[in-house]
């Protein structure tokens, strides 16, 4: 096979883009560490059943988006479409949840969903996520929202994002809302779009997400989820909103926000931006107190959220100042002509890498005249070229040429090189 072509929706992240990914990822890692979260690394392949039981079999992800396959022993497996289910499986399987203690975890890595690829939507994409187990109070939601806010500020995108938040109550609230919504929609079932007609019997809540104008018009007079939320969940939500206000985190209560996954209860939230068109959600999450119980004889309160790395990268790249800061420039480019000079050049390069570890040192690879090597040095955007030819070998000196400043070139004794460079 000679076709060099990747799978649709699964793209390469090229060297010139990687800097921005590294920036986003390192800000995330650093902040999560500072808030006391530990990393967990999870398999990319799980039993398909895990996602059916946790996300819900009537959801978009499980119905349409999963990469499911039989392995050689006829086990039904799938590429993970998200991180929460695997994380819950892992904490249960490894006994990481203990009554009375709190577990705070983060993960990062590729996820797979068979969706229509477009800007900000791929079939293989990357998520970072956090999950907190073992605490019922709003302090967990608050901590997660605060650390999100800190991530935005560290990436300088705080003015480009908004927090949307809602409460969907407990399981009973959802059930009674679904009953009421269904009986309302049944009256108009002939006018609903085809998908919504089908969902009326499978998962009526998902009709709320319909993009069809006629369906949306019908929905505008439908019963309101908020009216069905139980008393305790309402109190929980009010407390969270008050704390957000007290801490100066702006938010918008969005009663239409229910999120597409079955496992949520009470708080759901999304951070969105207007800068990325239709794919404007950069982080989504909420509380899922009932999920652990589905896989264990213990129960545990839980809250989590996941960030779309590609969308965050697009957002940070839209700020040109960060682009410049990230361009990969080198500090030193070492040029050598002749066999002995090459050995001396390697010695110098290794010496600088040991003594000045923060510098990026490029060694010219392959032969070539000084002129052609200098051309490469200029192209690399290095600050300084170190030139070593037969004369330098004979005098045990190297020549420093400043590529970005208008300075005279200098000759430096090899043994003095490091101290001279440290002065620059």
- Which residues would be at the binding site for ligand ATP (CB under 6 A)? 82, 113, 115, 120-122, 125, 127, 260, 279, 281-284, 306, 308, 310-311
Tell me the residue nearest to ligand ATP as measured from the CB. Answer: 308
Question: CA 349 → CA 18, 36, 359, 379, 395, distances in Å?
Answer: 25, 39, 11, 19, 18
- The nearest distance, CB 169 to ligand ATP, in angstroms, is 20
At 268, list the tokens.
């759901």
Taking the mean position of all CA atoms in its chain, how far away is CA 363? 34
Nearest-angstrom CA–CA distance, 144 and 163: 12
Nearest residue (CB) to ligand ATP, 115 versus 139? 115
Nearest residue (CB) to ligand ATP, 281 versus 299? 281
DSSP state, 224?
P
Residue 210, SS3? coil
Cα–Cα–Cα angle for 376, 381, 384, nearest 5°? 85
Q: Which of 42, 318, 273, 258 is nearest to 148 (CA)?
A: 273
- The nearest distance, CB 211 to ligand ATP, in angstroms, is 12
Q: Do 412 and 402 touch, CB atoms closer than 8 A? A: no
DSSP for 248-285, written as a single string = T---EE-TT---S-TT-EEEEEEEEESTTTT--EEEEE
Nearest residue (CB) to ligand ATP, 256 versus 424? 256
Q: Where are the alpha helices (DSSP H) in 266-414?
A: 291-295, 309-317, 320-326, 339-355, 370-379, 390-395
Nearest residue (CB) to ligand ATP, 80 versus 311? 311
Task: Please provide residue 170's backbone torsions phi and psi, each rounded to the nearest 5 degrees.
Answer: -90, -175
Q: For the chain, how big is the Rg over CA atoms in Å? A: 28
Nearest residue (CB) to ligand ATP, 107 versus 333? 107
Nearest residue (CB) to ligand ATP, 268 versus 362? 268
- The nearest distance, CB 415 to ligand ATP, in angstroms, is 54
Nearest residue (CB) to ligand ATP, 121 versus 342? 121
Task: Please provide residue 197's backbone torsions phi and psi, each rounded to the nearest 5 degrees.
Answer: -55, -45
Nearest residue (CB) to ligand ATP, 122 versus 267? 122
- The nearest distance, CB 90 to ligand ATP, in angstroms, is 18
- The nearest distance, CB 370 to ligand ATP, in angstroms, is 48
DSSP state, 63?
I
- The nearest distance, CB 271 to ligand ATP, in angstroms, is 8
Nearest residue (CB) to ligand ATP, 89 versus 311? 311
Q: Which of 173, 388, 386 is nearest to 268 (CA)?
A: 173
Cα–Cα–Cα angle for 24, 148, 268, nearest 5°? 125
- The nearest distance, CB 267 to ligand ATP, in angstroms, is 14
- The nearest distance, CB 407 to ligand ATP, in angstroms, is 47
- The nearest distance, CB 358 to ligand ATP, in angstroms, is 33
């Amino acid at each position: 096979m000679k076709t060099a072509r990747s799978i649709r929706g699964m793209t390469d992240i090229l060297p010139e883009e990687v800097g921005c990914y590294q920036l986003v990822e390192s800000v995330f890692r650093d902040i999560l560490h500072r808030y006391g979260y530990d990393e967990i690394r999870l398999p990319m392949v799980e039993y398909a059943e895990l996602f059916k039981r946790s996300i819900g079999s009537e959801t978009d992800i499980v119905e349409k988006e999963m990469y499911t396959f039989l392995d050689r022993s006829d086990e039904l497996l799938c590429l993970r479409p998200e991180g929460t289910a695997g994380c819950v499986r892992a904490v249960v399987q490894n006994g990481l949840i203990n009554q009375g203690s709190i577990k705070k975890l983060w993960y990062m890595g590729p996820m797979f969903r068979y969706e229509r690829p477009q800007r900000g939507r791929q079939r293989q994409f990357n998520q970072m996520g956090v999950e907190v187990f073992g605490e019922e109070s709003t302090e967990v939601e608050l901590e997660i929202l605060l650390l999100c806010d800190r991530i935005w500020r560290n990436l300088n995108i705080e003015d480009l994002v908004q927090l949307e938040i809602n409460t969907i109550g407990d399981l009973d609230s959802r059930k009674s809302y679904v009953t009421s919504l269904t009986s309302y929609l049944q009256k108009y079932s002939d006018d609903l779009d085809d998908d919504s007609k089908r969902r009326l019997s499978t998962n009526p809540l998902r009709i709320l997400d319909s993009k069809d104008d006629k369906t949306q018009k019908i929905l505008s007079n439908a019963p309101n989820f908020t009216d069905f939320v139980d008393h305790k969940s309402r109190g929980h939500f009010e407390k969270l909103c008050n704390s957000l206000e007290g801490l100066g985190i702006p938010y918008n209560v969005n009663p239409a926000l229910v999120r597409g996954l079955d496992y949520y209860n009470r708080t759901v939230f999304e951070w969105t931006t207007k800068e990325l068109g239709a794919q404007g959600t950069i982080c989504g999450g909420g509380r899922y107190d009932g999920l652990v119980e589905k896989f264990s004889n213990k129960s545990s309160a839980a809250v989590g959220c996941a960030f779309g790395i590609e969308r965050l990268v697009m957002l940070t790249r839209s700020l040109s100042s960060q682009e410049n800061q990230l361009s990969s420039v080198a500090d030193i480019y070492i040029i050598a002509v002749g066999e002995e000079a090459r050995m001396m050049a390697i010695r110098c390069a290794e010496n600088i890498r040991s003594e000045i570890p923060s510098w990026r040192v490029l060694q010219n690879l392959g032969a070539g005249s000084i002129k052609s090597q200098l051309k490469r040095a200029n192209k690399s955007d290095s600050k300084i070229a170190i030139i070593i030819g037969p004369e330098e070998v004979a005098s045990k000196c190297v020549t420093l040429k400043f590529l970005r400043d208008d300075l005279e070139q200098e000759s430096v004794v090899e043994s003095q090189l490091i101290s001279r460079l440290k002065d620059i």
